[in-house]
Amino acid sequence: MTKRIFWHIFVVAVIVLFASVAMIVGALYEYYSNQYITQLKNEAVYISQGMEENNDYLKKLDNKTDNTRITWINSDGVVLYDNTADAAKMENHSNREEFIEALTNGQGESIRYSKTLSEDTLYYAVKLKNGTVLRVSSTKHSVLAIVYGMLKYILLILLATVALSAFLAYRVSKRIVRPLNGLDFDNPEDAVTYEELSPMLMRISKQNKQIHAQMIELERKQHEFSTIIENMKEGLLIVDKKTDILSYNTSALHLLGANEAVKNKSALTLNRSESFRKAIEFSLSGR
């Protein structure tokens, strides 16, 4: 029982641990994603204001935005400017989610997940007064990349927590079982244990009383039977199918010329005569 309780507690603790780690990593990823989006929004607003005031503003940003990609797109999806690639060679962006949202709602955002599962790219687009769209984007580590980078620390925490969970599960299981091991089933009503076990202990106590009363009644009847057969002048010998003695009286011993009989021993040991043996066999045959 202790092992079962231990493994149940241990498995639940490990499941809760892994679920907690997954939730924490997911929450951190969501938090930093929102931070990235907020940062991109602020950069987009700052750059769009500069473009509204100065048409050559983008040229001034060349080589000054190492971590942010800036793309300027006309209303047809044609790329007019990109700080990391040749705009003339870039494909049309009219089908991009953030571009469509910006034309419709004034702003739009999206996240494209890398197939390599190492980086995700966040896009934020804002519509300018002249109908063109400014898009800024930045890459960040994917959730798997974050987990991989923290893997050593996560494993150390997991190992330490699993060990602690195993220790606590062992202690708790022992503490749970200790009152049960100390139960006195002869006097269960006096046991100091869990309240939830009280109905069961009361039933055990009731059954004990019934069994005790039945044993007293059996002993009384056995005593009555022994008294009756002992006062009989006739000999009485009760045997089973194997001729083992179940009960007898003193008169039977006298008639057989035996000094004593031992229960569960063969009745044939009381008298070796052929006639006695045949009598026993006849009686057992039921004829």
Domain ranges of the chain: 2-151, 232-285
Q: Is the torsion defined by CA of 193, 196, 202, 204 positive or negative?
A: negative
Q: What is the pLDDT of residues 184-239, one digit of tens each?
A: 666 666 655 666 666 776 777 778 788 888 899 888 888 888 788 778 878 888 88
Under 8 Å between Cβ of 98 and 110: yes
> Are 1 and 180 contacting, i.e. CB atoms less than 8 angstroms apart?
yes
Instruction: Report pLDDT for 2.
Output: 64
Average pLDDT, the chain: 80
By C-alpha distance, which of 110, 112, 74 is closest to 94? 74
Q: Report DSSP state, residue 207.
A: H
Residue that is written with structure tokens 């039945």 in the block: 214
What is the mean predicted confidence (pLDDT) over 157-164? 80
Residue 220 is which amino acid?
R
Q: State the alpha helices, DSSP H only, in the chain.
A: 2-53, 57-60, 97-105, 143-149, 151-181, 198-230, 250-256, 274-285
Name the token pair of 209.
């009383």
pLDDT tens digits along 91-146: 999 999 999 999 999 999 888 876 665 677 889 999 998 899 999 988 876 666 66
Report the topology of domain 2-151.
Beta-Lactamase (3.30.450)
